[in-house]
Amino acid sequence: MHHRSVVTLAVSVISLVTAVEARAGSYVGREFPDFTATDAITGEKFSLGLLRGKVVLVDFWASWCGPCVRELPNVKRAYGKYKKQGFEIVSISLDSNRSRFTSFVRTQRMNWHHVMEGGGWSTRLAGKYGVTSIPRMYVLDPNGVCIAENVHGRGLGAAIERGLALVETPRQSRRTIRPPAAVPTPVELVELRAQLALAVAPLETLWHRLDTIEASLDDLQQRMPVPDDPVLVRRRVATVLRELDDVRHGMFLMGLFDDRPAPPLPANPLDASRPDDLRSWTRVSGMLRAARDSIERMRQAAGDAEARLAAIEARIIEVEAELSGGGEIRTGMQARIDDLEADLSAAAAHLDDPWRRQIETAHRIIAECCLPLDALATTLDGLDNRIRAVQEMVAAAPRETAALRTMRDAFASVCRDLAATSRQVEPDDGSSLVVLPADPYDGRRLRDRRVLGEMVVQIEVATAAAAELRAHVARRRQRFQMMIETLTSLHQELSDRIEAGDSIDEVRNRFSEISRTVLSLHDPDEV
């Protein structure tokens, strides 16, 4: 009697809670109303009712919603884990910008049903289901009954598994089909699957970190142009740029920038500014745009690596399907599995331990940085010759208009090129800016004889400026040469240690440290 009373009481409490939730607008315990819509990506008509028999997540979200973006990696993991067991997702977007929405969905590889009617908060389905905040998630069981609402993180997976327990599975055939003895053992494919999972794991981590950083950028953008709490936002900006630099460095060490240059990261416009400096805050928006560009290029690099692994997975699935068919297996099956193993090992090497290859990539980056320095040195050689030519013209004390005009134009050209070269040379030792020559003809007539005396002075200034610029170029060239020598030494030491079977951890750490400097070579000083 006591047990029966407890059960009766529990049922009554559950019924009461369900009734209260229903009155409050909750769908838990009720059949979720059906709807028909057009898939925003494929353009095909579909309805919620057609997905009966599956566990369905109905997700109200938007690409501009920070919490939605932060929850997205968890949703994608759930889709990858449970899709083959009968799980499906229908995302209903409150976006208004269709191009942004489409780009976001494709970049993030959200390969499920999407509804996007462009109405924002006035979207038809948001009104139909009383959605007033996002993310808003409903988990439906195979009968279309809502079994969970507003679940996140681990709670989403638990709700999906409760629903999957209700999915009917077809009866197993009594006839067991056994593959011929010559068929390679499934253990080989299991091992390939395990290797593939290990190779994909760091990429999934990358996607999650990039999603998190982009969500932080969204939050910062909403605080612009002048934030309510400048001190907090200054810290947030510095943190986001530091995290982005850390992700870029990790991707470089994984070999994801072998075939493309690493994206530059914007400088922090708030580094040396006062909190009340409005000019710095107006530049933060430019920094945020540049950071998004960097993230997009990182996504492309990670996506290319993921595509290579996806192609290998498709081949594994093909082999698995042939093995499970029970028919006659071609004699080349073992060779195909061997090829798969070799290709997977090669692809995984890009993500696992590509140290020697990355040292070579660092060499290439530095060599590319040396090219403009070599061009500047050649330009300065030419400027020296042109300055001497003007000096000879002044010594000849020309009087004719044509000769005076030639001298004036030649020196003006020298001044312009010195200024252009100065803009390309950034002093890396904290020294003052180069003093450039002035135009001695400023405000004077062509035949003014005082110009020749002023010209002598300005030629000396031009000569000194060219020498100082040459010194800056030489210092930077020497710095790059020292980095190249360090990398060469690391490469040899790494090869020796690998050949001797010694630990390479210490060499890795030294290369990791210098590679950060190498990656920063293309970063701008300001947005």
Q: Model-level pTM?
A: 0.50
- Tens digits of residue pLDDT in 165-217: 887 544 333 333 333 334 444 556 666 667 677 677 777 778 778 888 888 88
Tokens of 334: 């073992």
Q: What is the mean pLDDT of residues 50-54?
A: 88
Confidence band, pLDDT 50/70/90 cuts, at residue 429? very low
Whether residue 249 is found in the same domain as residue 384: no
Highest averaged pLDDT of the listed ranges 7-11, 36-40, 340-344, 354-358: 36-40
E-strand ranges in 82-145 read 87-93, 113-116, 136-140
Tokens of 82: 């449970």
What dihedral do alpha carbons 309, 311, 317, 321 form, nearest 10°? -160
* Pairwise pLDDT comparison (228 vs 48), residue with the higher score: 48
Which residue type sits at 499?
E
| Residue 176 is assigned to a structural domain of this protein | no
| Residue 11 is assigned to a structural domain of this protein | no
Highest averaged pLDDT of the listed ranges 164-173, 222-231, 453-462: 453-462
Question: How many domains does one find in the chain?
Answer: 3
Find all residues with CB under 8 Å of 413, minimum gap 6, and list them: 386
Whether residue 36 is found in the same domain as residue 118: yes
Q: What is the mean pLDDT of residues 366-372?
A: 81
Confidence band, pLDDT 50/70/90 cuts, at residue 517? confident
Whether residue 303 is found in the same domain as residue 376: no
Whether residue 375 is found in the same domain as residue 434: yes
Whether residue 193 is found in the same domain as residue 292: yes
Q: What is the mean pLDDT of residues 439-455?
A: 82
Whether residue 332 is found in the same domain as residue 375: no
Q: What is the mean pLDDT of residues 134-151?
A: 88
Whether residue 346 is found in the same domain as residue 412: no
> Containing domain of residue 471, as a range?
358-515
CATH code (residue 370) = 1.20.1330.10
Q: What is the mean pLDDT of residues 281-298?
A: 83
d(CA 72, CA 110): 9
* Pairwise pLDDT comparison (279 vs 9), residue with the higher score: 279
